[in-house]
Amino acid sequence: MKQEKSPRGVQTWIHELEEGAGQVWLRRFVVGLIIAMAVLLYHVFEAQNFSSPEAMDQGQLARNIAEGRGFTTFNLRPLNLHLLRQGAWAGQTNEIARMRGPIPDLENAPVYPLLWAGLMKVLPETYRNGKVTGSQATQRPPPEVAIGFLNLALFLGSSVLLYRLARKLLGSIAANLATLFFIGSETLWRFAYSGLPTHLQVIELLALAALLTVRDRYEFEIPAGQDDEESQHDESDPEGESVSDGSIQGWKSWAWGIGVGLLLGAMTLTKYSLGWLAIPTIAWIAWRPGKTARRDAFVATVIFLTAISPWIVRNWKLCGTPFGTAGYAMFTGTPGFPGFKMERSQYPALDTVLASELVAKLGRNMLDIVENDLPRLGASFCVPLFLAGVLLPMPGSRRRNLQIWFIGCLLVLVPAEAIGRTEMSRLSPEINSEKLIIILFPLVCLFAGGTVEWLIQRREFPFPLLATLTRALISALASLPLVGVVLLAGLALLGVMPRRHFVVVDPPYRPATIATACGWVPSGALMMSDMPWAVAWYGNREALWMPLRIKQEGREDFYQVHLSQRQVKAVFLSPLTSNGHFRDEFLSDPDRPWGLFYLDLLARGQLPEGFPLTFVESDLLKAGYCLVTASPWWRTSQ
């Protein structure tokens, strides 16, 4: 006789929710709901338009790729043109003809712009060329909303990857702590809406860390309350194959080395400076015990070099340097090239930079990173917890090996960030792509979570719930800046208080004003600007960075471009110039003559004698902008 199944009654469902698998899913649902509410509030009340010049630069580059113009740029750096004259343009005499053609970009690595271009391809046209008009001045441009959601997806994906990695190394409870530390960093939320490739770099680093832990086949875990010696696992593979030397046998070893090399190559082609991570990674592989260690290191090195070589060759053919203009960042900030003088130089005298000046820049910036950036990494107190984890006798061989690799990465990224700092870090001090060590923050959270759980396991609590409440309190304290921001956004939603800040980063970036001014200039006409990245992104026009002089004997002035290279049809100045310090920038700095140019127009309505552009849009002048053109195009558009 067939036995009938007993019906699942209300009591069964209650038991599942209280003690069974339903309890786990209920917790996940609650956490997911909280994260979704935080995303909504942050997106509506905290997200602003781009403030980082690198984000706008990569955005206009992605749009050019999506529209079939290839890896060309509308953000024209005089240094970029100088390098092209040394390479692809060498020997050509028709300067005007080559300046009218597409200008190859020599600044950006290719991976992130290609990813962004792919997003533009699959989304409607609005998300490629979406313009913000005067009536939409308080709205973010649609392309910035789209890339914000893409970076947010990468952020959440990296949190899942961090959880899985931490669970293998630390257990599920510590993995939950590490993930909450990571998601609770308000700095990372700001990076998600910045348009920068930081979260792509984070997910690449976590994938590399996960791959490196595969090499260690054994983990000497420590159960709660036991000593390390009591918890050592049997050093043999479950299938009976001995792997106590740490080797990966057969084809898996080759696949592992290829995977490491490809990830290193992808990181380098996302941000050139991350190529320095190849040094600690290859050294870590070669240092590990095992019969195949040196072979694996060799395979990873060959694949890494093979992956980046096509792009390096492309740059070399165009300009004679492997990393284009990005390779000259080390000279920026030295006494000979303060501010943006390097990028604005048509003929830079690099031989004037002394080695001692580079050493001084390296030391000065490294000191600043150690004093200010490292202690405040991710705007969280996870850094002290990580340092405690390094000093405490934490169990687990894979965890200790990952710590060694992490420290090696930190030792190369700090000087790489220091020597590569430019004036972009001053324009956008908190959120910029030159902050390299921020990508190590998820591993800091991983080790911090392990430290907290290790300490909790060694403390006796009167009842288990108190341990859970302790973990929750520590997670809340680590996420306090984000909690405060979300609470203020919630109060703004309820109408209790106004929003914390305006949607538009103004000054100096007002998308509607920039798009309107550039819309008056005919397509294909060359503009000059003090923020060509914003003109290229919001205005979709070619813009050359302002030369160092207006008129001067030599080759570093406006007339050198206008008469010998390509005629300039419009000059567009922004609050970057009009809000400058009067004495330091307008009167004392010979490389900033455009401030006096603006003041003469504003106070006396005069242009320099013989200046070829004669029409001035007066309304913009009163608003802190300046548009001088060859023709009054705004009159015909009214």
Digit-coded pLDDT (tens) for 499-530: 888 888 888 898 989 999 999 999 989 999 99
User: 230-263 pLDDT, tens per residue?
Assistant: 333 333 333 333 344 445 567 788 899 999 999 9
Closest to 482 measured CA to CA, from 27, 157, 37: 37
Bigger pLDDT: 386 vs 503: 503
Task: Tell me whether the omega of the peptide bond preceding residue 197 falls within 30 degrees of 0, making it cis.
Answer: no
User: 111-158 pLDDT, tens per residue?
Assistant: 999 999 999 999 988 888 766 665 555 688 999 999 999 999 999 999
Return the half-sphere exposure (C-beta side, CA atoms, 13 A cut-off) of residue 606.
Answer: 7
Task: Report the number of secondary-structure helices (H) and strands (E) in the chain.
Answer: 29, 6
Q: How far is CA 452 from CA 381, 382, 470, 635, in A?
A: 12, 10, 10, 66
Distance CA 325, CA 329 (A): 7
> What are residue 441's phi and psi, to 5 degrees?
-60, -40
10 Å Cβ neighbour count for 21?
9
Q: What is the pTM of this model?
A: 0.89
The predicted pLDDT at position 232 comes to 38
Q: How far is CA 346 from CA 77, 82, 84, 236, in A?
A: 9, 6, 11, 64
Say yes or no to pLDDT of 204 above 80: yes
Distance CA 615, CA 354 (A): 44
Distance CA 112, CA 271 (A): 9
Distance CA 282, CA 286 (A): 6
Q: How many residues does the chain have?
A: 638
> What are residue 526's phi and psi, to 5 degrees?
-85, 130
> What are residue 507's phi and psi, to 5 degrees?
-80, 165
The predicted pLDDT at position 130 comes to 67
Distance CA 531, CA 546 (A): 9
Distance CA 347, CA 543 (A): 19
Query: What one-character DSSP code corresponds to residue 439?
Result: G
Say yes or no to pLDDT of 378 above 80: no
* Per-domain boundaries in the chain: 12-45, 142-229+243-493, 506-638
* CB neighbour list of residue 43: distance below 8 Å, 6 or more residues apart: 148, 193
Of the pLDDT bands very low, low, confident and very high (cuts 50, 70, 90), residue 420 is very high
Helical (H) or strand (E) element with 478: helix 464-478
The predicted pLDDT at position 583 comes to 60
